[in-house]
Amino acid sequence: MLATHILVTVALESGTLRFWDGVGGPYVDPDTGDVYRASQFTEDALQSIEAAINGEAFTLALSLVSVPTGAADEIWEYDETNPVSGSVIQISLQNCDQYNQPTEDPEVVFTGTLDNMTVTDQTSESEEGDSQRSTITIEATNVFTLRNITNRAVLSDVDQRARSAILNPSASADRFCERVSQLLSKTIRWPNW
């Protein structure tokens, strides 16, 4: 049976975090030697990844569940001292054979920047006693975030210029909105041959 691994890479100032969606031990990339920690994504996170791959999502929320509390505390403390906002996040798909060995290079399906990160703790009761696990939720955005305006209004001239500068950095300043308002006083004349 063929499998696909979801690989998540987060490039922080002090180093790179790597996770893969699965249980068991770490996954080692045979070409680069990069080690990905096993993690479990929520079902909502998998749906968000699917929407991002299909180009339907401009923001992406990933939740890692059942993270040991000690590791989550370290991540929370790091975020308090070195904000993670603006760090690059990349999601790749790795096709594997029936022995869980990679068959080709991973394909990058989403690249964005971290916008926010939250850590929540959960305590569950079991026969061995109470156990505490954490959930880490990260929110990432990409270049399509500019297409969404919270109040659902039409883009203003300033918004249009900012959007155009990011999507087309080598082009001259976009003056479309400025010119449209000037067309109000114009009369369109059809050719008279």
pLDDT in tens, 93-118: 888 888 878 888 888 888 888 888 88
Q: Is residue 1 scored above 60 in pLDDT?
A: no
Instruction: Tell whether 159 and 184 lie within a shared domain.
Output: yes
Instruction: Tell whether 136 and 166 lie within a shared domain.
Output: no
Task: Show the domain range for 128.
Answer: 3-146
Instruction: Tell whether 64 and 113 lie within a shared domain.
Output: yes
Q: Is residue 123 scored above 80 in pLDDT?
A: no
Average pLDDT, the chain: 78
Instruction: Tell whether 125 and 35 lie within a shared domain.
Output: yes
Instruction: Tell whether 54 and 111 lie within a shared domain.
Output: yes
- SS3 of 4-46: EEEEEEEECCCCEEEEEECCCCCEECCCCCCEEEEEEECHHHH
Instruction: Tell whether 162 and 126 lie within a shared domain.
Output: no
Instruction: Tell whether 25 and 63 lie within a shared domain.
Output: yes
pLDDT in tens, 155-168: 566 777 777 777 77
Rounded mean pLDDT of 82-101?
85
Q: Is residue 151 scored above 60 in pLDDT?
A: no
Instruction: Tell whether 94 and 142 lie within a shared domain.
Output: yes
Q: Rounded to an integer, what distance in angstroms lies between the CA atom of residue 112 and that of residue 140?
A: 6
